[in-house]
Amino acid sequence: MKFQPGFSSFLKPAGLKACAKPILRRAGFLFLMGALEVLAPPGSPAAEPMMDTSVFSESRLGAVESVKLGHFAQALRSEQTALKIAQDQYGPTSLLLVPILDDVAVLQWRLAEYRDSEESLKWGLALVEKNLGPGDGEVADSLDLLAGLYLDLNRLAEAEWVEKRALALRQASGAANPQSLARTEDLLGQVELGLGNASQAQTHFGEAQKNLEPGRQPDAAFSLHLLNHLALAYASGNDFNQAQSCLEKSMETAEKDFKPVSPEAVEAMEDLADFYDDRGQLEKARPLWESALKTSGQLVGGVYDYLALPHLKRLARAEDGVGDHPKARGLWLKILPVDEAVYGAKHPQVALDLMALADQDAKLGQKGKAAEELKESLAILKPLFPADDPLVRQLDARLADLSK
């Protein structure tokens, strides 16, 4: 070719090329990283990096650490930084963005940024479909996440459609990953339960149990979770004997597979106690609540922070169960500021805490205080959920009860 001095090249905007390689992202994002140096003279614009791996890995690992301490907003910022770096490196359509997008979406979900979370999940889903094809088994992972979000938002029809597609994809890909199939069956069961289809929910939970890999160490926490869901499905279908049986089995399993003094054991005890309470069998519920109280008391330490929250909530539940409402109220008063600090004052988690606090105030005869707390809770939930959402409806009903 003859060189033409006047030839003007077309300068393309910055951004880096896409070089997608399929990876098993749910098994962990495997990122190949060289030992890289980053050069950017002080005060000068950043030079084009092959990939700023130090910032990238610090961001991703930092996000994991932040989540452990409940610093979700910080974790989200870190993941968004990592996403930007990966996007610059691999281009906006690379499959390598998907695990980061999933993490971003989950953090947005946690922070009740539901619309952003849905967008992030849909972006990830589109990337998987584009890169691997809409029939690839990996698509089911993205669908599971999206269905989980819809379930949380009570968008059950959408959740059902999405999760049925996930199930079809998992079934088409054979028994390659029964654990994933079990989780999809469980999620679909929860959706059907929400839709009031108790028998279909039972079927899905049953299928999920069958798919727990027989030859491998069972996921004990997931087994408990499934038993609890099965109990709910049986109770929904008015089969209370089966429901009771599932909850009893859950308690036995929790004490066997976990330590007797463990969060799982307390949770299982409290679920069974709740069941007896709801059935009016207070004599059976009482010893369970007492036992749960004793055990959960041992699990709560002296520091009331994010890590202590689940223990404090179980303890408050147990105090309520044994009828010690002042103590339960005191615990919810400790829980509330921690949840506010972790999620922000306008988060549904805080609304739920306020509901629990209002419940205790009502039981203590403080109806005015309880009504204020419920109104505050409603003010948080109404911008986030539609008026016919069960959470909102439940709050309205409680407020109406209080005003009687």
Q: Give residues 203-232 in contact with other proteins (rule: CB under 8 A).
A: 231-232
CB atoms within 10 A of CB 394: 13
CA–CA gap between residue 71 and residue 169 (Å, rounded)? 35
DSSP string, 353-370: HHHHHHHHHHHTT-HHHH
Q: Does 388 bind other proteins (CB under 8 A)?
A: no
Our CB check for other proteins shows the closer of 149 and 302 to be 149
At residue 33, what are phi and psi to the nearest 5 degrees?
A: -130, 125
SS (H, E, C) 297-316: HHHCCCCCCHHHHHHHHHHH
Considering the complex, what minimum distance in angstroms separates the CB of residue 209 from other proteins? 19
Q: Could you say which residues in the range 168-187 bind other proteins, by CB under 8 A? A: none
Our CB check for other proteins shows the closer of 48 and 252 to be 48
CA–CA gap between residue 280 and residue 284 (Å, rounded)? 9
CB atoms within 10 A of CB 30: 11
CA–CA gap between residue 140 and residue 154 (Å, rounded)? 20
Site string for other proteins, 56-95 (x = CB under 8 A): -x--xx-xx--x-------x---------------x-xxx
Of residues 166, 378, 391, 392, which one binds other proteins by CB under 8 A? 391
Our CB check for other proteins shows the closer of 296 and 349 to be 349
Our CB check for other proteins shows the closer of 60 and 204 to be 60
Of residues 116, 348, 363, 382, which one binds other proteins by CB under 8 A? 348
Count of all residues that appear for the chain in the document: 404
Q: Does 99 bind other proteins (CB under 8 A)?
A: yes
Q: Does 400 bind other proteins (CB under 8 A)?
A: no
Q: Could you say which residues in the range 110-169 bind other proteins, by CB under 8 A? A: 110, 131-133, 145, 148, 151-152, 154
Considering the complex, what minimum distance in angstroms separates the CB of residue 152 from other proteins? 6
Q: Does 6 bind other proteins (CB under 8 A)?
A: yes
Q: Does 280 bind other proteins (CB under 8 A)?
A: yes
Q: Does 404 bind other proteins (CB under 8 A)?
A: no
Considering the complex, what minimum distance in angstroms separates the CB of residue 106 from other proteins? 4
Of residues 235, 266, 322, 357, which one binds other proteins by CB under 8 A? 235
Q: Does 22 bind other proteins (CB under 8 A)?
A: yes
Are 98 and 124 spatial neighbours (Cβ–Cβ below 8 Å)? Answer: yes
Contacts of 250 (CB under 8 A, 6+ apart): 224, 227, 228, 231, 268, 271, 272
CA 379 to chain centre: 23
Of residues 239, 274, 290, 376, which one binds other proteins by CB under 8 A? 274
Our CB check for other proteins shows the closer of 105 and 302 to be 105
Site string for other proteins, 238-267 (x = CB under 8 A): x----x------------------------
Alpha-carbon distances of 264 from 255, 292, 295, 308, rounded to whole Å: 8, 11, 11, 15
Both tokens assigned to 265: 């054991």
Our CB check for other proteins shows the closer of 330 and 348 to be 348
Contacts of 19 (CB under 8 A, 6+ apart): 90, 91, 94
DSSP 6: T
Considering the complex, what minimum distance in angstroms separates the CB of residue 260 from other proteins? 22
CA–CA gap between residue 60 and residue 83 (Å, rounded)? 9
Our CB check for other proteins shows the closer of 4 and 403 to be 4
CA–CA gap between residue 82 and residue 85 (Å, rounded)? 5
Q: Which stretch binds other proteins (CB under 8 A): 23-31, 212-220, 330-338, 371-379?
A: 23-31
Of residues 220, 352, 399, 402, which one binds other proteins by CB under 8 A? 352
What amino acid is encoded at 142 in this protein? S
Considering the complex, what minimum distance in angstroms separates the CB of residue 347 from other proteins? 10
Q: Could you say which residues in the range 291-320 bind other proteins, by CB under 8 A? A: 313, 317
Alpha-carbon distances of 168 from 77, 97, 173, 226, 263, rounded to whole Å: 35, 25, 9, 21, 35
